[in-house]
């Protein structure tokens, strides 16, 4: 009995050492191998395969076109809408097919519509920007417009309106050029079917609104802000005076200078930088933003102008400072 009593603690210790309920961290060791296997299989079949949506059983082009117009809240002429969605590459492909089968059906592609749409957008966006950014110079307006009507921006708009699946093109998925071209053609088709006012509102709602949350100054690269500022100021007869109003950490890596620009002892703007010339440049940029009415705290751009803005003379827009 005494022997057992002496051995009992040892026995219990031994039992404790054998883990009954195994505890481990739940690290999913299968994740990396699974992902690698997926990638290997994808590579083997030659990249991701995207089946054209219009080859599916559940596809009705007529219904899609009807819904497309309703989605945007516009009344498109149905034949014009179909024409806007027909890309040049598709027409070429179809004509080749028809030659083989020896019959001919005339198809119209969207080149004309797209040209017309682009022409309208070009004019309208310019007028609209001039109306909502009255003090912004012409070169700036042109560069903002260039951004808005660039292929990437238009393709993004086009994609998010659901044109990707409806476009009749030789390839699938369609590239950015085709997407942008289709959007231009849509604007052209709307112009022909609903007129100027509706098209203007359409362009405003889908193209101009892309400026929301963006800084318009970023689209216009000013090479030499100081020269531009002095030119503008000298036109009014005043002279501008840069003053060093702060310097910290001179001669160190973290040096910071602050330059203020003054007109008749009134501060126009201030800028900072790692050297005096950079600080002066930054101050000049700030001053230009103030003159152009595009400061960081500017009132948001109005996206609700109803009418087509008239082309007003740009003389008063040159400088509206002081």
Partner 1 sequence: MSNSNLFMKTGFVRAPLQNGVGRYVCQLQRIVFKFCKSHGGSRGLRDFIEQDLVDFAKNNPSVVVYLKPRRHRSAVVVGEYLNGDRVWMSVNQKTHSEITKWIENLRTQQGNLSEIRLRKYQYTDHPSIQGPWTPFTFKNPELNLAELPNVKFGENNRLPISATEQLRLMFEKQKLSDVKTAE
Query: Could you list the residues that contact partner 1 (CB under 8 A)?
Result: 26-28, 31, 57-58, 60, 63-64, 66-67, 70-73, 156-157, 159-162, 164, 204-206, 208-210, 212-214, 246, 248-249, 256, 258, 272, 296, 303
Of the pair 2, 307, the CB lying nearest partner 1 is at 307
Q: How far is the CB of 58 from partner 1 (least distance, A)?
A: 4
Nearest to 178, CA basis, from 88, 117, 118, 50: 88
- CB closer to partner 1, 72 vs 319: 72
Q: Which two tokens stand for residue 288?
A: 């230009």
Nearest CB to partner 1, comparing residues 209 and 321: 209
Per DSSP, the residues of 64-103 read HHHHHHHHHT----HHHHHHHHB-HHHHHHHHHHHHHHT-
Q: In the bound complex, what is the minimum distance in angstroms from residue 9's beta carbon to partner 1?
A: 41
CA distance 270 to 305: 34
Assigned token pair, 182: 């289709």
- Closest contact distance (angstroms) between CB of 81 and partner 1 is 14
- Cβ atoms of 128 and 309 closer than 8 Å: yes
- Measured distance CA(13)–CA(16) in Å, rounded: 5
Which CB atom, from 14 or from 73, has the smaller least distance to partner 1? 73
Task: Show the tokens assigned to 11.
Answer: 């026995």
* Comparison of 112 and 205: residue with beta carbon closer to partner 1: 205
Minimum Å gap between C-beta 258 and partner 1 is 5
HSE, CB side, 13 Å, CA atoms: give it for residue 37: 5
Instruction: Give whichever of 80 and 155 is closer to partner 1, judged by the CB atom.
Output: 155
Rounded-to-integer distance, Cα 205 and Cα 124, Å: 12
Find the shortest distance in angstroms from Cβ 122 to partner 1. 19
Q: Quick one: DSSP state of residue 299?
A: P
Are 173 and 164 within 8 A, CB to CB?
yes
Q: Of 134 and 273, which has the nearer Cβ to partner 1?
A: 273
CB of 98 to partner 1, least distance (A): 29
CB of 26 to partner 1, least distance (A): 6
In this structure, what token pair is assigned to residue 145?
A: 């417009």
| CB contact at 8 A, 256 and 270 | no
């Amino acid at each position: 009995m005494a022997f057992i009593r002496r051995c009992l603690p040892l026995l219990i210790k031994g039992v404790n050492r054998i883990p009954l309920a195994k505890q481990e961290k739940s690290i999913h060791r299968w994740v990396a191998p699974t992902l690698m296997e997926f990638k290997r299989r994808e590579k083997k079949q030659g990249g991701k395969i995207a089946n054209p949506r219009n080859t599916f059983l559940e596809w009705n082009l007529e219904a899609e076109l009807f819904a497309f117009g309703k989605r945007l809240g516009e009344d498109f002429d149905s034949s014009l809408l179909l024409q806007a969605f027909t890309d040049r590459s598709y027409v070429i492909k179809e004509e080749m097919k028809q030659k083989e089968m020896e019959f001919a059906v005339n198809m119209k592609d969207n080149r004309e519509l797209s040209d017309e749409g682009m022409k309208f957008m070009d004019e309208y966006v310019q007028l609209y920007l001039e109306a909502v950014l009255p003090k912004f110079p012409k070169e700036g307006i042109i560069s903002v417009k260039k951004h808005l009507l660039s292929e990437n921006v238009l393709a993004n708009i086009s994609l998010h309106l659901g044109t990707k699946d409806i476009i009749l093109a030789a390839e699938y998925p369609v590239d950015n050029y085709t997407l942008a071209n289709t959007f231009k053609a849509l604007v052209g088709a709307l112009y022909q079917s609903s007129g100027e006012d509706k098209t203007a509102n359409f362009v405003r709602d889908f193209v101009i609104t892309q400026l929301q949350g963006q800084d318009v100054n970023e689209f216009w690269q000013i090479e030499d802000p100081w020269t531009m500022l002095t030119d503008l100021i000298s036109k009014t007869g005043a002279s501008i005076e840069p003053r060093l109003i702060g310097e910290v950490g001179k001669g160190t890596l973290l040096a910071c200078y602050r330059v203020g620009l003054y007109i008749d002892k009134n501060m126009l703007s201030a800028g900072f930088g790692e050297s005096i010339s950079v600080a002066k440049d930054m101050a000049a940029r700030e001053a230009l933003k103030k003159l152009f009415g595009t400061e960081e705290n500017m009132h948001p751009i109005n996206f609700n102008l109803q009418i087509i803005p008239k082309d007003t003379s740009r003389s008063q827009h040159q400088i509206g400072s002081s």
